[in-house]
């Protein structure tokens, strides 16, 4: 039984060692939870400088993320998530997203997002000295993405 393994297991050939990965292992992590762990064919993340598309065998990279939509493809199916801040690391077949927020469309409370949007708009419109502009702008961006993603039913 033991000899069967030793005598019949072919050693990897140089060709098979060079075979490219055809899937990506995507992980999305927030300070609160592991939001997603899936094998996927393609990922697009909202990089600070614009959308960043990642296919298997992508060059290793680290990029900061902005508030936006992360999308990923599994076969013919496309799925989307809201992410906000943090960064993405690509290393061999692994895509690790560490973000302040990660929500699937079905986890989003659209009415709550609408209230957050109204609050942020009122704050920004008031132009008071006591307004934390960056914070209000961030809340506004998140609320808009939540309404866009969660409102699709």
Q: Can you give the binding site for ligand ATP, defined by CB under 6 A?
A: 32, 101, 103, 107-109, 112-113, 116, 139, 142, 146
Q: 95 or 113: whose CB is closer to ligand ATP? A: 113
Name the packing angle between helices 133-150 and 110-126 (round to 10°). 150
Q: 24 or 116: whose CB is closer to ligand ATP? A: 116
Q: What six digits make up the tokens of 10?
A: 């072919």
- Least gap, CB of 139 to ligand ATP (angstroms): 4
- Least gap, CB of 71 to ligand ATP (angstroms): 18
Instruction: Report H helices in 51-127.
Output: 110-126
Q: 58 or 82: whose CB is closer to ligand ATP? A: 82
Query: 87 — phi, psi (to 5°)?
Result: -150, 170
Q: What six digits make up the tokens of 56?
A: 């298997």
For tokens 């659209």, what's the residue?
110
């Amino acid at each position: 039984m033991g000899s069967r393994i030793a005598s019949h297991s072919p050693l990897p050939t140089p060709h098979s060692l060079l075979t490219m990965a055809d899937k990506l292992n995507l992980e999305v992590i927030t300070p609160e939870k592991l939001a997603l762990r899936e094998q996927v064919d393609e990922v697009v993340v909202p990089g600070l400088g614009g959308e960043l598309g990642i296919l298997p065998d992508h060059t290793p990279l680290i990029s900061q993320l902005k508030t936006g939509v992360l999308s990923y493809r599994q076969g013919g199916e496309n799925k989307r998530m809201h992410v906000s801040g943090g960064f993405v690391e690509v290393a061999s077949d692994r895509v690790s997203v560490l973000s302040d927020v990660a929500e699937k469309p079905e986890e989003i409370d659209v009415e709550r997002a609408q209230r957050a949007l109204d609050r942020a708009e009122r704050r920004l419109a008031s132009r008071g000295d006591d307004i934390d502009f960056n914070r209000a702008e961030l809340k506004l961006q998140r609320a808009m993405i939540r309404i866009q993603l969660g409102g699709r039913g």
